[in-house]
Amino acid sequence: MPTLPKSLFWARTDTAGAEHALFDDHHGLTARGTLTAVDPIPYTCRYQLTTDAGWASSRVEVEAEGTGWLRSVRLERVSDGWRVTTAEQGDLDAALRAAGHPAVGLPGTDDPGRLAEAVDVDLGGAALFNTLPVHRLGLTGAAVDTPHRVDVAWVLVPSLLVVPAEQVYTPLGPNRVRFTSDTFTADIDLDGDGYVVRYPGLAERVYPR
């Protein structure tokens, strides 16, 4: 496995946790990262991400693990949409119920065709993935107050359920975009390369500042 030349580190602000991403963005984006969090139960989530030269997601692998359970999902772009492959060991639903939370069901999706329109993949709790549409659409220098609608394959964590979602990114000025999904809205601060510096309600970058 090749080493990667760049690194970003975020502290979660919605719960105790963090994200560390290693990446190469010389030709598209290749990244490996780790998420940790204690909500809804303690887990570690590892991801690998590859895009094409235009920063559209082409392959994403995610593995989530906690006490007594381990599950994974792989999304690969194919000619007519996405191929989704999953695996599970142990019982996440049992761990959730024991902690007083509802069960989440199986990882992945029972209908990959629902993801056919998705260009980007979004991983819950991972600030790195917001850079994909920002960079792909050139939003750091785009016209202010012009909304850009994107279809994504949204991977929920820790369940690794994959659902189609519509998101809207609206440039607000230099290095700031408004992110909207359903009723949720956040004004995200970015650096000059489009990577998240501050995502209210989710994460704050601590390295590099």
pLDDT tens digit at each of 209 positions of the chain: 889 999 999 999 999 999 999 999 999 999 999 999 999 999 999 999 999 999 999 999 999 999 999 999 999 999 889 999 999 999 999 999 999 999 999 999 999 999 999 999 999 999 999 999 999 999 998 999 999 999 999 999 999 999 999 999 999 998 999 999 989 999 999 999 999 999 999 999 999 98
Does residue 29 contact residue 22 with C-beta atoms inside 8 Å? no
Does residue 71 contact residue 88 with C-beta atoms inside 8 Å? yes
Take residue 98 and report the two structure tokens written for it: 């024991």
Take residue 48 and report the two structure tokens written for it: 């690998």
> Length of the chain, please?
209
From the CA atom positions of the chain, what is the Rg in Å? 16
The C-alpha atoms of residue 108 and residue 140 are separated, in whole angstroms, by 32
Q: List the alpha helices (DSSP H) in the chain.
A: 92-98, 131-136
